[in-house]
Amino acid sequence: MPGHRRHRSVLTGRFSKDADHDFEIRTVLGGAASGAADVGEVLAAVADVGTDHRTWFRAWDALGDRVAATGEACAARGHRVSAASAYLRASAYLAVAVNAVAGLDDDAVLVPTFRKHRAAWDRWVDLVDLDVERVALPYEGTTLPGYFFRAPGDGGARRPVVVAVNGSDGSLTSLWPACVAGALRRGYHALVFDGPGQQSMLFEQGVPFRPDFETVLTPVLDAVVARPDVDPDRVAVYGISQAGYWVTRALAFEHRPAAAVVDPGVVDVAASWERELPKSLLAHLDAGDDHAFDRDMKLGLRLSKDAARTWRFRARPYGDVGGYAATLREVRRYDVADVAGRVTTPLLVTSPEDEQFWPGQSERLAGLVPGATLVTFSDAEGASGHCEPLARALVEQRMFDWLDERLAR
């Protein structure tokens, strides 16, 4: 409208000069609404970090260790509630440290740091006043580790359930503020798990991502609907970040869920990679000149340590496919444009203002999936940015109100 000026808010500032660090801080702070962070201890821990990668890792590693030690001390004195609170926060902070290992020159601390994170999560699971069951989900000759949260006071009745699918580098802890806490408050059961290429499956078993996620979601749903405490007609699926692709892809072939949410919509995963690359470099790939692409990528990454770190971090879950061009070709397979029209499950697609990884793809996906519902989130609401990190209560409200209307008996 005439004379309209863009709303300016605290969101236009930064908690860190490093864009990736800033996003991590925002994501952690968003967990405070569900007890997965304490704002003061987070801001104090990162106040003097700057952009140095080693200092960044040490800050989160030390904060996680300190808060976990608080949890252990509280548990030893019989303060179960305080101990559980501390362990949940510690697991969230150590999850950031796990990803921060990618910025170090040596990743020898990756698995030990991940195991500290998962140990803090498991201590929370054991201490929190919730009914949580560890589950092993059958998957191609092995199992996927998962945790099934029963709704409080379920009394053995069949309840609706939310199956939560993580993004490319998210921890199980991150799914607690993303959707699990809200699900339990509304009488839903919830399931979280590590899929191929995610956390324990990648770090401890070396299992990479795969584009045909229906081969993952289908056996997971088989296990879920077989449970006597689940209403098989009221199963919802939630996918965050890159799971906006995985969930949509799976739903093109797996039609049992009664509703699904993708936060945000992702059609073409490779777009988030290619927007950072020169057009001249992509021209080599499009022309089939992998040798030239690999040569120029190698030179470019040699000149930029930060770019090299980012590439290693993003490429690792896709497996060793042989060279830079081969990796990007593999990522290009993660595209739902040709199959999104097969989705029959009612789908809610979030679209935050200033989406920094897949701008415009939520709108595109909503146009490809028949009957999809697009819900926008704005800077004026404090809800801008990928996965609306500082507005999780607002996302929870809109998402679960929509799910309630579709899953209610």
Locate the domains of the chain by residue range. 17-122, 131-269+334-407, 272-332
Residue 169 pLDDT exceeds 70: yes
Query: Is domain 131-269+334-407 classified as CATH 3.90.1150.10?
Result: no
Residue 9 pLDDT exceeds 70: no
Integer Cα distance of 250 and 246 in angstroms: 6
Residue 2 pLDDT exceeds 60: no
CATH of 17-122, picked from 1.10.260, 3.40.190, 2.40.50, 1.20.1440, is 1.20.1440
pLDDT band for position 154 (50/70/90)?
Answer: low
Looking at residue 180, the DSSP 8-state letter turns out to be I
Integer Cα distance of 79 and 351 in angstroms: 42
17-122 and 131-269+334-407 agree in CATH topology:
no
Token pair of 54, please?
Answer: 């080693």
Burial of 60: CB neighbours in 10 Å, binned 0-12, 13-18, 19+: buried
Which uninterrupted H or E stretch holds 207?
A: none
Given a contact cutoff of 8 angstroms between Cβ atoms, the answer to whether 39 and 93 are in contact is no
Given a contact cutoff of 8 angstroms between Cβ atoms, the answer to whether 216 and 250 are in contact is yes
Average pLDDT over residues 355-363: 97
pLDDT, residue 6, reads 45
pLDDT, residue 8, reads 47
Average pLDDT over residues 33-54: 94
Average pLDDT over residues 76-99: 98
The rounded mean pLDDT for the chain is 94
Given a contact cutoff of 8 angstroms between Cβ atoms, the answer to whether 179 and 396 are in contact is yes
Residue 156 pLDDT exceeds 90: no
In the chain, the percentage of residues whose pLDDT exceeds 70 is 96
Strand duo 142-150 + 189-193: pairing: antiparallel
Average pLDDT over residues 134-140: 97
Q: Quote the Cα angle for 111-150-409, to 5°.
A: 135
Q: Model confidence over 187-217: pLDDT tens digits?
A: 999 999 999 999 999 999 999 999 999 999 9
Looking at residue 268, the DSSP 8-state letter turns out to be B
pLDDT, residue 409, reads 64
The CA distances from residue 101 to 169, 263, 356, in Å, are 12, 26, 23
Which of 42-51, 130-139, 165-174, 240-249 is predicted least confidently?
Answer: 42-51
Closest CA to 243 of 95, 403, 392, 350: 350
Given a contact cutoff of 8 angstroms between Cβ atoms, the answer to whether 130 and 157 are in contact is no
Q: Model confidence over 290-307: pLDDT tens digits?
A: 999 999 999 999 999 889
pLDDT band for position 408 (50/70/90)?
Answer: confident
Cα-Cα-Cα-Cα torsion 362, 363, 367, 368, nearest 10 degrees, comes to -30
Q: Kindly report the pTM of this predicted structure.
A: 0.95
Residue 275 pLDDT exceeds 60: yes
CA 214 from centre of chain: 18
Closest CA to 149 of 175, 117, 169: 175
Which of 18-22, 93-97, 381-385, 400-404 is predicted least confidently?
Answer: 18-22
Round to the nearest angstrom and report the end-to-end CA distance of the chain: 43
pLDDT, residue 193, reads 98
User: Which residues, at least 6 apart from 319, have a Cβ–Cβ distance to it below 8 Å?
Assistant: 197, 208, 209, 330
In the chain, the percentage of residues whose pLDDT exceeds 90 is 91
